[in-house]
Amino acid sequence: MQQVQAVIARSKGAPVEVVTINVPAPGPGEAVVKVETCGVCHTDLHYREGGINDEFPFLLGHEAAGVVEAVGEGVTEVAVGDSVVLNWRAVCGECRACQRGDLQYCFATHNAKQKMTLEDGTELSPALGIGAFAEKTLVAAGQCTKVDPDARKAAIGLLGCGVMAGIGAAINTGQATRGRSTAVIGCGGVGVAAIAGASLAGSSPIIAVDIDEKKLAKAKELGATHTVNSKEVDPVEAIKEICGGYYEGAEGADLVIEAVGRPETWKQGFYARDLAGVLVLVGVPTPDMKIPDMPLIDVFGRGGALKSSWYGDCLPSRDFPMLVDLYTQGRLDLDAFVTEEIGIGDVEAAFEKMHGGNVLRSVVVI
Ligand code: APR
Ligand code: ZN
Ligand code: ZN
């Protein structure tokens, strides 16, 4: 066991604190990772606000990159010294989803069995089974994906959550490809990552929709060919006009990605598709939100699909190394997502900045 500094949320709504925690030596199937960087995500704030569950105290942070310091018995996934990006869904290989080959739907995810604790012995709940606003953290070895050690960790660590969710919504869930159009509604971190993914896949045109001009400017940097300010114009009409269609009255995008998580933007996405278009929901609605009241005939009278994307339907072992390589080759601009590098004591301030809309990601550098 060793003691390190870490950021915890002790109770609902209380500001986060930097405290000393105990990190056990890795047991069978576990690894201790020396964390180098960890992005500040909305989900950390949700934990802090009690919106996920009430298993306080939480050890926050989950968009992390670092180096493996120690591994437990039987670990084959990674070795001491490997540079890794952490993921919150290490597939089990045994559940029904894994057995039929749909690894991206594995819900029996592996986390470390042992617990990290406060100095008084209180067990910590690591955010998304990771807990990486810490000098070191204990995870399941399968949560570590080995990547190019020379890549900038502050950038590649973001693949661990929001950026992967967006890129994966476009590439994995939406199957964006050359010769097909993509529209993305909501251009926060997730939405612009979806735009970057669609761009990587050769999709064109790529239409960014947001109510904030700053977000639209960022979307252009990451590959949007057109921008639509939905405060000023009807985004459905604008997307139809840009994309055209099979015949008059059936225009729209081949792929629409909803990255806000609200009924009204989902409805815009629904009607902005062409006849065979796919709508992917990657924004997370709150439990009280309902599908908008719409004529059922509008669902029947067209093909296409309505999908949801969870963690970008990613397989970390396949997708993380590929995207890190694309980054080091200069083909994927992950640096664009890093707005600022901050210290371990600055997480609360980073939460405050999230509301302003000027920050894609604050990244804690440890
Ligand atoms: N129409 C278009 N864009 C909108 C609208 C709207 N009605 N309302 C908000 N937006 C834009 C905001 O301006 C912002 O750019 O949606 C974006 C949301 O971005 P962030 O708040 O930065 O959220 P992000 O991290 O991108 O996550 C988006 O995906 O993973 C989920 O929980 C996450 O639901 C959230 C969504
Ligand atoms: Zn499984
Ligand atoms: Zn996250």
The pLDDT tens digits for 307-359 are 999 999 999 999 999 999 999 999 999 999 999 999 999 999 999 999 888 89
Rounded Cα distance, 9 and 50, in Å = 10
DSSP string, 177-213: -TT--EEEE--SHHHHHHHHHHHHTT-SSEEEEES-H
> pLDDT band at residue 249, thresholds of 50, 70 and 90?
confident
Q: How far is the CA of 291 from the centre of ligand 3 (A)?
A: 24
Region 10-29: what's the mean pLDDT?
97
d(CA 107, CA 87): 14
pLDDT, tens digit (0-9, with 9 covering 90-100), for 162-175 = 999 999 999 999 99
* Ligand closest to CA 309: 1
Q: What is the pLDDT of residues 96-119, one digit of tens each?
A: 999 998 888 887 778 999 999 999
Q: Please choose from 44, 216, 260 the residue to mutate so as to test ligand 1's pocket, defined by most ligand atoms within 8 A of CB.
A: 260
Mean pLDDT of 136-162: 97
pLDDT in tens, 28-44: 999 999 999 999 999 99
Decide if pLDDT at 246 tops 80: no
Alpha carbon of 77 to ligand 2 centroid (Å): 16
> Which of ligand 1's atoms lies nearest the C-alpha of 212?
13
State the distance from the centre of ligand 3 to the C-alpha of 80, rounded, in angstroms.
26
Query: What residue's CA is closest to ligand 1, atom 16?
Result: 186
Q: How confident is the model at residue 135 (pLDDT cuts 50, 70, 90)?
A: very high
Q: Strand (E) positions, 244-339?
A: 253-258, 273-281, 305-308
Q: Please tell me the distance between residue 125's alpha carbon and the centre of ligand 2 in angstroms.
A: 22
Taken in order of first residue, the domains within the chain and their CATH numbers are: 2-160+333-365 (3.90.180.10), 166-309 (3.40.50.720)
CA-nearest residue, atom 25 of ligand 1: 189
Fill in the DSSP letter of residue 129: G
Residue 230 Cβ < 6 Å to ligand 1: yes
Instruction: Choose which residue among 47, 185, 190 to substitute to test ligand 1 binding: the one with the highest number of ligand atoms within 8 A of its C-beta.
Output: 190
Range list of H helices, 273-342: 297-300, 316-328
- pTM for the model: 0.95
The verdict on the CB of residue 30 being under 6 Å from ligand 1 is: no
**Which ligand sits nearest to residue 47's alpha carbon?**
3
Which residues does residue 169 pair with via DSSP β-bridges, in sequence order?
Answer: none
- Ligand nearest, relative to CA of residue 162: 3
**What ipTM does this complex have?**
0.97
Ligand 1: which atom is nearest the Cα of residue 264? 7
Burial (CB count within 10 angstroms: exposed 0-12, middle 13-18, buried 19+), residue 364: buried
Across 18-27, average pLDDT: 98
Q: How many helices (H) and strands (E) does the chain have?
A: 11, 18
